Structures are given as structure tokens and as C-alpha cells.
Structure 1
Amino acid sequence: MSDVELSQADANELIAMPKIRITDEIRYFPGSGGALNVPLVSEDWREDFVLTIRRGRIDLNRGSYQNIGRNTVILLRAELNGPPHRNPDDAEIPCPHIHIYKEGFGTKWAYPFPTDFANPADYWTTLQDFIKYCNIILPPKILRGLE
């Protein structure tokens, strides 16, 4: 997504930084083939972030959640019910998996889902876990809506 290169220390700092919603606007979880981009900021309002939610067109449990910093740098991406990912070292990581920014590689490396994700098969629970994993301490107001 980006040609911007961050040091690993900067990326780690952005990932760990507490994030908050910008508005109290109520948003709806996207339906089939939909997407939602939610702007966030650091607590001191010095850094901008985006939480993105994408849903599969046919398989509603397939999709991804991303935390983007510095306007274009994907810091974290959770992929749900998709194909396995082949890492640069040729290791294959089954889905669901998480991509974490790695200096020099961006998000080309995938890792098994963290154990603190309660139920990776449930997209709504996984979104709540991803929000916590991204350190979004004042999360956006997202309603499930109708499937």
C-alpha cells in the first residue's frame, strides 16, 4: 500500500500507541463485499490512523481488518477465512493469520493468530479483539447491522 519505510522502532511505537475515535458517529459493519474506513487519532492528536474493515462478497466470514498509520503504512492486518499466506522464507501460514509491520518487508510476513483472539471464526468477536490488539482505547461506534 505504501512506499513509506518506517524503522521497526517507529512502527512498534505506532502499533503500541493508544488510539481514539475522532467522532461519536455511529457506523455500520459492512455487508457482503463492503468496506468501512474509520479515522482514528493518537490521544495527543499528533498521529492519524485508520481502521479498515473489508468483507468478502460471497463468504461473509472472509475479510480483513487493518490498522493504518502515517496515512499509508499498514501496521497490522488480520485476514479471516482466506487462503494461506506464503512468507518470504517460503513458510506457509494458514488463515486466519495476522500481518505485523516488519522493517524492510512491510506486511509481507504473516504470523499465526495471537492466542488472545477469543474466536477467530467469529468475525464480530475478532473485530473486537483486533480493536484491543491495535490499542484502540476509545473505539469507534460500530453496529452489526443486518446481514
Structure 2
Amino acid sequence: MAATDLPQSEADALIALAKVKVNDDSYDYPGTGGSLVVPLTSQDKREEFLLDIYRGRIDLLKGTYQNRARQVIVLVRVDFGGAPHRNPDGEEVPCPHLHLYREGFGDKWAMPLPVASFPNINDLWQTLEDFMTFCNVVDRPAIARGLFI
């Protein structure tokens, strides 16, 4: 098993694990073409996570929210405003879509974004809040909205 491959049960446990901010730093939501990486940790400080926020350069409604474990393992990713995703079996999934870690494939599989968890994908701020809820971020970092969100 590669260092970036986890058993599915371990990945599922990491996704479900309560996550908290590492410090009281304040962050600015990225502008067009920008990105932000926010450190998170488990409540017992045994696991480290990263919350990634990426914005499109031209299209303000294009971007990615991502939760990583162990620096490189993508557990959950939401892509919005972009191109469809082609799964390893050839199925094309339109954007927005959700990637969940799958053993042996990492983040290569996507599914339609569940409306119950992400009811308003056009509101990027609310979608970020929904994403943190989905990833079980219980003590959230301070992220300032900015002008274009």
C-alpha cells in the first residue's frame, strides 16, 4: 500500500473525526486566482488536517474546497463552476461535484453534489460553511469574507 493510500475504514474515520482550528489566526478568503491553506487538527491533537480554498482566475464562481489529511491525502473535495469530471469507469459527472476518498483511487471518483448537504452552491460563503459542516470542522478558523464572495 502506497503512503498516500489508506484503508477505506481509516479514511472514513478521518472524515468523521471532529476537527478544530490550530490557532486563533485570522485568514482572508482568497480573491480571484488565489488560494488559502488553513491548518486544522483533531480535538486530541493526534491527527493534522488542511482546509484548502482555491478560486478561479477569471470566473468568480469557479473553485475548490478541499480537506486533506496527512498533508497529501484528499479526503473530501467540492469542485464548483468548472468542467465535468470523468470517473475511472468513464462516467461523466457535471460540476458541481463531490469527491470522497475511495481506497485504491484516492480522490479520482466524483459524484453529484448532494443538495441536502449543499443546498445553495451559488452562495460560495454558505457552501464553505456547508463544506466545513460536511467535514466535521467543529471549531472553525476565522476567515474574513472579502469583497467578492
Instruction: Provide the residue aligned with 1:145 in structure 2.
Output: 146
SS of 1:52's partner is strand
Instruction: Provide the residue aligned with 1:54 in structure 2.
Output: 54
Aligned length: 146
* Identical-pair percentage: 51
Instruction: Provide the residue aligned with 1:136 in structure 2.
Output: 137
What's the CA shift string for 1:38-66, capped at 9, x where partnerless?
00000000000000000000001100000
What's the CA shift string for 1:108-132, capped at 9, x where partnerless?
0001112221201221111010000
What's the CA shift string for 1:74-109, capped at 9, x where partnerless?
000100110000111111110000100000000000
Instruction: Provide the residue aligned with 1:74 in structure 2.
Output: 74
Instruction: Provide the residue aligned with 1:119 in structure 2.
Output: 120
Instruction: Provide the residue aligned with 1:25 in structure 2.
Output: 25
Tell me how far 1:3 sits from its aligned partner: 5.3
Supply the AA of the counterpart residue of 2:120. Answer: N
Instruction: Provide the residue aligned with 1:99 in structure 2.
Output: 99
After the TM superposition, which segments of 4 or more aligned residues of structure 1 sit over 4 Å from their partners? none
Tell me how far 1:145 sits from its aligned partner: 1.5
Long gaps (5+) in structure 1? none
The whole-number CA distance in structure 2 between the counterparts of 1:55 and 1:71 is 20
What's the CA shift string for 1:7-47, capped at 9, x where partnerless?
00010000000000011111110001000000000000000
Q: Which 10-residue stretch deviates more, 114-123 or 90-99?
A: 114-123
TM-score w.r.t. structure 2 length?
A: 0.95
